Amino acid sequence: MASPNKVKNFPIFLFLFLFLIYWLIKNLTTSVFLKNKERINVVFYSKNTTFFSLSQHDVNYLFSFPSSAEVLVPGGYGNYKVGALGKLVSLEDKPVLLKKVFSGATSSFIDLYFYPVKTEIYYDNFDSPNFPGFSEVFLSKSNANFIDRLFLLGKLFDRNQSNYKIISLTKALFDQSQFGRDFQGSFYKKSYRNIGTNVQIIYTKSYSTANFLSQIIDGEGIKVVDISQSDSDTANCRIIAKKIDVVGRALSDFFGCPVKTGETTISDIILEVGSLEKDWAVK
């Protein structure tokens, strides 16, 4: 016969067990690494902000951003020095700005971003690329879940720089526009190009914002065939696809826009910018 204490504690154990199952399922289903992506782009924001583009079968890329380098912050914030981004993120309480900033700076989809618990402003600092350790991977704030942190720690355990193509940036030479021209396509997913699914972007007010999104999408390996203006003011962004494939799902995941099947004309996918015009606004 079960003891009274065991009977009394059973609901607690059941709750903890169910919570553990829920937590595990959520981590498994939302893990970036378990989606078997061809390439995963990661930024570690710190006094030595480092970008990793990690590939399953192709070249890995690695470089650091100078703290004094100026980057464009989407959302109407204008240009900020990299070293001041942490302060902006803290004041606005918008960690997603790191994803937007470095997606724009690298013309790629940033999958994971990490940043320190303590907010600091970093001044004129530029060191060689930094391989993060256990504390940076597991104790930093991030959009990565526990499973992703485990995978990333294993991926970065090998610190042999010969396994990476290191891009040299300096304070004097870094220019966001020039960097985009020089390296756009370096971090894209070849599978997207091979699939051949293309995109038309439809905006309402800001061509510059639509063009900015186009550069990121194209840099990811998804071909943008047209940018058009529409008088119809769509409140929220949405994606319309002839058929929903990996490209449509990738756009939906990255921009947070619902995707549905529908008729298109000159492209396979239509991205109606809608609310992204404000969220990703550039001056």
Q: What is the pLDDT of residues 194-215, one digit of tens each?
A: 899 999 999 999 999 999 999 9
Q: Which domains does the chain have, with CATH numbers?
A: 36-183 (3.30.420.590), 190-279 (3.30.70.2390)
Largest CA distance in the chain: 77
pLDDT by residue (tens digit) across 59-76?
899 988 888 888 999 999
CA–CA gap between residue 283 and residue 76 (Å, rounded): 6
Whole-number percent of the chain with pLDDT over 70: 94
126 has pLDDT over 70: no
3-state secondary structure of 153: helix
Q: Is the model's pLDDT at 1 over the cut of 60?
A: no
In this predicted structure, what is the pLDDT of residue 229? Answer: 95
* Amino acid 243: pLDDT: 92
Nearest one of 37, 43, 52, 60 to 249, comparing CA atoms:
37
pLDDT digit string (tens) for 51-63? 999 998 888 999 8
CA distance 237 to 271: 7
Average pLDDT over all residues of the chain: 89
CA distance 27 to 94: 22
152-162 pLDDT tens trace? 999 888 777 78
Q: Is the pLDDT of residue 233 over 80?
A: no
- pTM of the predicted protein model: 0.89
Does residue 174 register a pLDDT over 80? no
Greater model confidence, 104 or 36: 104
Q: According to the model, what pLDDT value does residue 23 have?
A: 81
Whether residue 70 contacts residue 77, with contact meaning beta carbons closer than 8 Å, is answered with no
The better pLDDT of the pair 254, 173 is held by: 254
How high is the pLDDT of residue 5? 64
Share of the chain above pLDDT 90, in %: 61
Q: What is the mean pLDDT of residues 217-224?
A: 94
In this predicted structure, what is the pLDDT of residue 182? 78
Which two tokens mark 110?
A: 């940033």
pLDDT at 187: 86
DSSP track, 63-93: EE--TT-EEEETTTTEEEEGGGHHHHHHHHT
The Cα 58–Cα 96 span in angstroms is 28
Q: Is the pLDDT of residue 19 over 80?
A: yes
What pLDDT shows up at residue 173? 54
Predicted pLDDT at 170: 64
